[in-house]
């Protein structure tokens, strides 16, 4: 055989069902919009209470953080993953998921400590 000849040629074809992809994107964006409306409503109440001088609990502060990351957890760049896949888009998608999970873990880790301190404070009074 000649050094410029092709010995083996592999061809792969991937097909994505367009109707399924459209349905999947619609569901994702519906949930993202619901999360966005919830975030705006909660943060308006949160900052209003803060402005009025109310003492906010650890749970209220944590939910304010979590509600922001829930919007990003729904992956606003998902359409770009389908239409023009690039590694940068996958990095952003993974980063937003990691931020949400990290914030949720932080809340769960500190919650028992907070409850313990509150219970201990109630025993002393």
DSSP 12-80: ------HHHHHHHHHHHHHHHHHHHHHHHHHHHHHHHHHHTTPPPPHHHHHHHHHHHHHHHHT-TTHHH
Q: Is residue 16 assigned to a domain?
A: no
Residue 11: inside a domain = no
pLDDT in tens, 14-65: 677 889 888 988 998 999 999 999 999 999 999 999 999 998 888 899 999 9
- Is residue 111, in this structure, part of any structural domain at all? yes
Structure confidence by residue, pLDDT tens digits, 32-42:
999 999 999 99
43 inside domain:
yes
Q: Which domain covers residue 117, as residue numbers?
A: 26-124
Q: Higher pLDDT residue, 91 or 121? A: 91
pTM of the model: 0.71
Supply the mean pLDDT for the chain: 85
Domains in the chain, number = 1
């Amino acid at each position: 055989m000649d050094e410029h000849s092709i010995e083996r040629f592999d061809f792969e074809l991937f097909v994505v069902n367009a109707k399924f992809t459209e349905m999947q994107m619609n569901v994702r964006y519906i949930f993202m919009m619901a999360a966005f409306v919830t975030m705006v409503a909660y943060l308006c109440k949160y900052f209003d209470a803060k402005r009025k001088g109310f003492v906010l609990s650890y749970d209220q502060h944590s939910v304010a953080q979590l509600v922001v990351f829930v919007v990003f957890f729904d992956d606003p760049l998902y359409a770009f993953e389908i239409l023009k896949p690039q590694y940068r888009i996958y990095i952003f998608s993974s980063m937003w998921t990691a931020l949400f999970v990290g914030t949720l873990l932080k809340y769960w880790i500190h919650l028992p400590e907070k409850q313990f301190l509150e219970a201990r404070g109630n025993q002393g009074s």
